[in-house]
Amino acid sequence: MPETQNIKNEIVLRGIPASHGISIGPAYLFLKDIPIVEERIIKPEEIELEQRRFSISLEKSSKELNKILLFAQEKIGEAKAKVLDAQIMVLDDPVLIGTIKKRIASENRNAEFIVNDEIGRYATLMLKAQDEYMHERAHDMEDLKNRIIRNLLQERLISKLEGSIIVVAHTLTPADTMILSRNHVLGYATDRGGITSHAALFSRSLKIPAIVGLGDVSRSVMNGDTLILDGYSGTLIINPTDEQIKHYEKKRERMNKFEQQLTGLKDLPAETIDGHRVELSANIELLDELDYVVVQGSQGIGLYRTESLLLNSDDFPSEEEQYLEYKQIADRVYPHRVILRTFDIGGDKIAPATADESNPFLGWRGIRISLDRPDIFLNQLRAMLRASVRKNLSIMFPMVATLEEVRIAKRYVRKAKAELRSHGIKFNDKTPIGVMIEVPSAALMISQIAAEIDFISIGTNDLTQYMLAVDRGNTLVSKLYRQFDPSVVNTIKHVINGAHKRGIWAGICGEMGGNPLAVPLLIGLGIDELSVVPAVLPEIKKIIRSLDYSLMKELAGQALEASTSDEVERMMSKFFKKHLPDIPLDH
């Protein structure tokens, strides 16, 4: 009888690269059993006991999270560890605690059921939003709920693991990421999650390679399967061949050498060989990212998403709360520039003021909400202006579609200034005002819009989506979402030219700016500023410093004549092979 061999099939999955690095090792499937919650009617004499059980569970959950917080403070620093504070604060929320205790008494039901129902409501509401950021926060709430229930049921979660492993999970919370890192974790791979998730942020701080948004990796992997995790390209290979392992070992060696070269670039300008300088800044949404941004050598913040202030809040933050946040950013980044974007909410994004809409992407969002809710808008503008005294702060309006919107928004800026003046409050009267160009109508009207403002920043994600009429989240059509489509490239050029003719600068804060392949094209088109995710800053700077501006202009000229996306992409690849052979771009 022939000897049988157990040869497993190779599976290649693509996800979102969340933390750079390459890991090769065995998989550990981190399955967090969701506690089973049974509804139980309790007798009146059991109410006090049930409420006490809930209090003890809260106390235990708080101790666990505080322990993880201390560990996180030691490993990644106090500022970044503050992410865990949000969960701990929920455990101390008197309104939530009071509501759950009251419901136990009024509904005569067991604590597990009420906790599951009450906290689950918040998580469900957040999950209804299509906004990735709110999804991440929903998972944090879900995790907190399950922690409280596990402690009510006196169940334990295993966190001590053996050997060197690559953790594979459906999703990871910041607490999971931190507690698992006490083991010898080579990498993280998850079904869900985005580049801005707290788990991704922690992975980068811990310097552990990670890929998120892999779809169903947790269903495709078995414990002990050999994995290759490429945190540069977002590729995960399950059961790779020996040849692939050798290939990625060489790539790891090559990338390590490349990253060593990048460490010396931190304080150097983003300047081409022939002396053309580009401003290189970072997109962020959390104060916790500021330290990382500085370490990565950013020249400032090209986009601060103020929507993060709405996290875990039933209402809009007060002017004072906003002012303190904006001031902290402006102080930390000084003398570099910070661009604060006014609330980009509504439509598909959850917020205290939203509406049910059949087509949210074309609905009530961005500047449209601000102009319809002057109370909210003026509050935010006054807070931003108050934080502008160092003169390094700019204000930017999102989702602008018409010239009228720009003019009305500016009237509110003037009104906010007048109100501050009347109270003798200082601010920078010349605070630059800009808009995001992400709607085709605004791109076409760039000449008239540019005459009204001080700068523009192109949001390439939405601009591409609206130009090509493609919902990139819709798997049926997402393949049609192509940022190198000639229509997009020519529109970007049109917007840059329109801005320059009016004597203002043009930047890019969309994902295209952080795509190494697109960088020579964008600079060649004449872009003045690139604002990118902090992780890719050194690599983008290296590309800029390795090229002549004249070469990039020549490349852009050719790209503007191209007829298809494939043609433009082939042009970019050929350019890299010829002029940047030392930059490993097999991402």
pLDDT of the residue at 274: 96
End-to-end CA distance of the chain: 46
- How many other C-beta atoms can be found within 10 angstroms of the C-beta atom of residue 117? 16
- pLDDT tops 50 at residue 4: no
Helix (H, G, I), strand (E, B) or coil at 18: strand
Long-range Cβ contact pairs of 575-583 (< 8 A, separation 24 or more): 575/520, 575/551, 576/517, 576/520, 579/520, 579/546, 579/547, 579/551, 580/543, 580/546, 580/547, 582/258, 582/546, 583/258, 583/516, 583/539, 583/542, 583/543, 583/546
Write out pLDDT tens, residues 397-430: 999 999 999 999 999 999 999 999 999 999 999 9
Upper half-sphere CA count for residue 16 (Cβ side, 13 Å): 18
Is residue 290 a contact partner of residue 330, using CB atoms and an 8 Å limit? Answer: no
Nearest to 264 by CA among 586, 545, 552: 545
State how far the Cα of 190 lies from the Cα of 212, in Å rounded to an integer: 5
Write out pLDDT tens, residues 91-134: 888 888 999 999 999 999 999 999 999 988 877 777 666 566 66
- pLDDT tops 80 at residue 146: yes
- pLDDT tops 70 at residue 577: yes
Q: Is 171 left (phi over 0), alpha (psi -120 to 50) or beta?
A: beta
- pLDDT tops 60 at residue 348: no
Is residue 181 a contact partner of residue 208, using CB atoms and an 8 Å limit? Answer: yes
Cα–Cα separations (whole angstroms), residue 311 to 126, 133, 282, 345 = 10, 9, 21, 12
State how far the Cα of 569 lies from the Cα of 494, in Å rounded to an integer: 20
Q: Give 289 or 482, the one with higher predicted confidence.
A: 482
pLDDT of the residue at 93: 87
- How many other C-beta atoms can be found within 10 angstroms of the C-beta atom of residue 419? 14
Q: Are strands 235-238 and 11-14 parallel, antiparallel or unpaired?
A: antiparallel
Residues in the chain: 587
- pLDDT tops 60 at residue 563: yes
**Adjacency order of strands within the sheet including 184-190:** 11-14, 235-238, 226-230, 22-29, 164-169, 184-190, 210-212, 16-19
pLDDT of the residue at 187: 93
Active-site residue, 579 included:
no
Average pLDDT value for residue range 321-347: 91
- Confidence at 271, pLDDT banded by 50, 70, 90: very high
- pLDDT tops 90 at residue 183: no
Cα–Cα separations (whole angstroms), residue 263 to 17, 268, 542 = 20, 11, 10
Active-site residue, 198 included:
yes
Q: Give 371 or 204, the one with higher predicted confidence.
A: 371
- pLDDT tops 70 at residue 468: yes
Q: Are strands 22-29 and 226-230 parallel, antiparallel or unpaired?
A: antiparallel
Write out pLDDT tens, residues 486-541: 999 999 999 999 999 999 999 999 889 988 899 999 999 999 999 998 878 888 99
Helix (H, G, I), strand (E, B) or coil at 82: helix
- The whole-chain average pLDDT of the chain stands at 87
Strand partners, 27: 166
Q: What are phi and psi of 391, to 5 degrees?
A: 65, 25
- pLDDT tops 70 at residue 447: yes
Is residue 28 a contact partner of residue 165, using CB atoms and an 8 Å limit? Answer: yes
Long-range Cβ contact pairs of 467-472 (< 8 A, separation 24 or more): 467/440, 467/491, 471/361
Is residue 131 a contact partner of residue 348, using CB atoms and an 8 Å limit? Answer: yes
Q: What are phi and psi of 225, to 5 degrees?
A: -60, 140
State how far the Cα of 333 lies from the Cα of 335, in Å rounded to an integer: 6
- Confidence at 5, pLDDT banded by 50, 70, 90: very low
- Confidence at 456, pLDDT banded by 50, 70, 90: very high
Check 135, 509, 579, 587 and give the catalytic one: 509
Check 20, 139, 170, 198 and give the catalytic one: 198
Q: Are strands 210-212 and 164-169 parallel, antiparallel or unpaired?
A: unpaired
Give the ranges where 207-337 is alpha helix by DSSP (H).
Answer: 217-220, 242-262, 290-295, 319-333
pLDDT of the residue at 466: 94
pLDDT of the residue at 534: 82
Write out pLDDT tens, residues 25-71: 999 998 876 788 889 999 999 999 999 999 999 999 998 888 888 88
pLDDT of the residue at 3: 42
Q: What are phi and psi of 460, to 5 degrees?
A: -70, -25
pLDDT of the residue at 2: 41
Q: Give 289 or 321, the one with higher predicted confidence.
A: 321
